[in-house]
Structure 1
């Protein structure tokens, strides 16, 4: 059975199984019982065999794995509930306290440059047109002054809007990095349960399987397909019915005898009839 359909592992633990297996194969030269790796079966062939026998190997550490999964689930449950409650509370508070202010500020940031720029263009255009008249109206200078004032206001509004967009981008980026950052090391109890499962998986599952694979002469490394996985399950003792040949039957018991009927020729008769 391939690892993708192994019933003993959750999806999130399949990579951990591969890491333990790769570590065992990488350090095989340090173990005398695995010193023959590479002579008849190489590390890649052994890895393929171990992946195909995932269900068999992980069953040897089923008790430790069940404890690890249980402890991990119990540790995650309160954290998940607290995070959900915190998210709901923060969302409610943010909507009530920041919704109006953030919306009004966004509207001002968008409309201020547009309105100020429009006013500046109108005042400057009218003011310069009046300046071309003769005699020049007295309020032409006032229109030009107002135009330049709104022009400066437009520039300031654009600058403030750019700074606001920059701060918003930086704040959102920092929040995203904080969400993607790892939460830290595992709790002590979960870490101990995980180490116990890894140790049992290595000592009672992977290493015995690799030793059995190296000792099995039927595992052909020259075959084109993946090597046949070595089974460490005991053989079921079925014996087929025994059939014996006629010669064996004669040796074991008395064969029934049959006698053929006696036939006589026409020239021979009983004592009451003599030949002519």
Structure 2
């Protein structure tokens, strides 16, 4: 889930914003008025809503955030300037066309070359002194080796003094490292407090004050259907007679059977 970052919130400060938000959500239940915060929303839901409202929350602490960014840029500029000055000093030392550069190179190389020559001369002179008879120039080699050894020792002393002077010069121009509670830490803490007091807590209060959404109506339950499908016709309606009322009895009338008239013909008067 990517949060909506405010226009003035830098990318490098997103993690710090999320850290402050998570800490505020963890301790929100202990604050007055937020004891029932978890009854309506979970912590994950509140965090998602707050991330979606990042622009609104960070705007409330814009003044403290601008001060925090300004202090951080000043410290970075000072560190960059100090590193540039040290690089220029090293470059000047290594430049052979500069007088100071030549002196530095001689000061560094002289003890190395003199010490190497002293070791070789003393070693060769000592080997020649073991011969019988010893060559005449064996003592000369030993004397030369001692001289080069003295030059190497003097060069080491000069190099040590030069390094000490350079260290003292750099310490005078270096930016001192501040204690843990320096200006940058104080500015970051002030921004975090402003985010909580003027941004996150008012947002949570508005969330609690908003009316709850209406509950959705329950869907109508369909009557259970049997395993046998219903055919397309219905059976006859066999209903029992009503209680207390006599059922109508069928009436049967007998057919009218009359005998034919077989009597004698009537005698009509003439």
Q: TM-score, normalised by structure 2?
A: 0.49
Specify the structure having the higher radius of gyration (Cα).
2
Relative contact order, higher structure (CA 8 A, sep 6+): 1
Task: Choose between structure 1 and 2: higher helix proportion.
Answer: 1
